[in-house]
Amino acid sequence: MKKSFVYIGLAALFFSCSGSEDSSGNPGPPVTPVESGNVVGTANVWVTNGEQTKLLSKQSSGASIYDTNATTDPSISVDFSQQYQEIEGFGAALTGSSAIVINGMNATQKDALLKDLFSTTEGIGLSYLRLTIGASDFSSANFSYDDMPAGSTDASLANFSIAPDETDVVPVMQSILAYASNIKIMGSPWSAPAWMKTSQSMNGGSLKPEWYDAYGNYFVKYINAYAAHGITIDAITPQNEPLHEINTYPTMKMTAVEQADFIKSSLGPKLQAAGLTTKIIAYDHNFDRTDYPLSILGDAQAAQYVDGSAFHAYAGEAGAMNVVHAAFPNKNLYFTEVSGGGWSTNFAENLKWSIGNIFIGTTRNWSKNVLLWNLALNSNSGPTNGGCIDCRGVVTVTANGSVTKNVEYYALAHFSKFVKPGAKRVNSTNFDNSLGLQNVAFVNADESKVLVVLNTSQTARKFAVKIDDKKIVYSLEPQAVATIVWQ
């Protein structure tokens, strides 16, 4: 379903120019209004449009910077002194399926794809990945890191092994590190081992309280096992989509009370005792249930171990993140999953929805990152493991190794290539609603400035951006996104 956000505009309506008229009453040639001020510089601009004639295309003319902020164009103001959350990165999930697809390419193809996705100099610089802790609905099969025969248990986790990940996920992750050595990585489980659960199955059921300590140790072993391969897990969530339980692929129900109990009685203390600084991020589910993260953050014993909360976009709106921020401004917010797919194939509509609702929507509502679902899938939207059969990856890799960059690739690139880890979101006002323009602004650690503007309308929009006593002027074509970068 297409979603929209309401933004309160501070700018004037777009103005049109009129032609001149001679003494006989005949209209003369149209008069182009002269921009006030002198051009003192140029901002670089990259554009993707709905027609796909421009795909992250650098514009030769750029955007003019003037020595005055006086304007009659619709305008916004950007205040780089008013800074908000620090950005940790942009990316997607390296699911088991994504790793299988990438690892199946020949060495030349794989290197070219990873360079394009992760290099900050030759690619789009993806800077954050999410891994599944054990199997998900995008894995080769069901597995945990400690599977036991039916009726058996392993309280000491003597059988623990990440061997299922060592065929594809670990080697692909290590190859990625060659291009992005500081990439942030989050791990999320879809299910605990079956023997720990009420269902005695990976598919559905809940975690038994008697196994809380064993499961806390399971996370410690996971983090340490990946570290042994040179892969640092920066953050974990206790459960992916804890309110979603189904018996066709790995899921595990975990109520807010249960998650708080698990965090404060086992997970938090176990990580702390092991000397691990891995962040615990609560919830990891849809915008529509703010009561869940609010409950955990409101539990002082649990909250002391919790860095913040994470959200998905399959229900509700991004403004929910601001509700949680307002209640707990010292806790961080993250956006960790949404997928495109066969249910929505119009490039222009997907571009507008993704940029407006996900990338602009979540960052304007305090998210420190933006993660999409599968990084790569094959031409059959797989491999799959009992879940979505028509999800779309950021890229599609065919059997012969050729790559199609999907709309998600370009949406990500408009942020990941320009907004670097450590950047701060800064204050930017909103355009008048009637214009169909949305925006968000950042300043990087090197002081470079980034403004992303989306034109959802069917009309080209000329606008001005006021920065102190200067302005940037640009005209953005219909159904297009522009990333504007300057020093």
Paired tokens of 328: 């707990």
pLDDT surpasses 60 at 53 = yes
Position 26 confidence tier, pLDDT thresholds 50, 70, 90? low
pLDDT in the model for residue 17: 33
What structural domains and CATH numbers belong to the chain? 35-84+426-486 (2.60.40.1180), 88-421 (3.20.20.80)
- The DSSP code sequence of 221-280 is HHHHHHHTTT----EE-S-SSTT---SSS-EEE--HHHHHHHIIIIIHHHHHHTT--PEE
Residues 107-140: pLDDT tens digits? 999 999 999 999 999 999 999 999 999 999 999 9
Paired tokens of 480: 């297009």
pLDDT in the model for residue 33: 61
pLDDT surpasses 70 at 262 = yes
Paired tokens of 342: 């066969």
Across residues 182-198, what is the average pLDDT?
A: 99
pLDDT surpasses 50 at 43 = yes
| 150 Cβ contact list (under 8 Å, min separation 6) | 200
- Give the separation between CA 117 and CA 130, rounded to whole angstroms: 15
> Annotated active-site positions, please?
241, 337
Across residues 376-403, what is the average pLDDT?
A: 98
- Give the separation between CA 433 and CA 11, rounded to whole angstroms: 9
pTM: 0.93
CB burial of residue 402 (10 Å; 0-12, 13-18, 19+): exposed
Q: How far is CA 373 from CA 174, 244, 312, 411, in A?
A: 20, 16, 10, 13
Residues 275-328: pLDDT tens digits? 999 999 999 999 999 999 999 999 999 999 999 999 999 999 999 999 999 999
pLDDT surpasses 80 at 385 = yes
Residues 416-471: pLDDT tens digits? 999 999 999 999 999 999 999 999 999 999 999 999 999 999 999 999 999 999 99
- Give the separation between CA 221 and CA 167, rounded to whole angstroms: 19
Mean pLDDT taken over the chain = 94
Residues 172-186: pLDDT tens digits? 999 999 999 999 999
Spatial contact of 343 and 390, defined as CB atoms under 8 Å apart: yes
Spatial contact of 451 and 483, defined as CB atoms under 8 Å apart: yes
Across residues 395-408, what is the average pLDDT?
A: 98
| 20 Cβ contact list (under 8 Å, min separation 6) | 27, 28, 29, 30, 31
Torsion region of 109: left, alpha or beta (phi above 0 gives left; psi -120 to 50 gives alpha): alpha
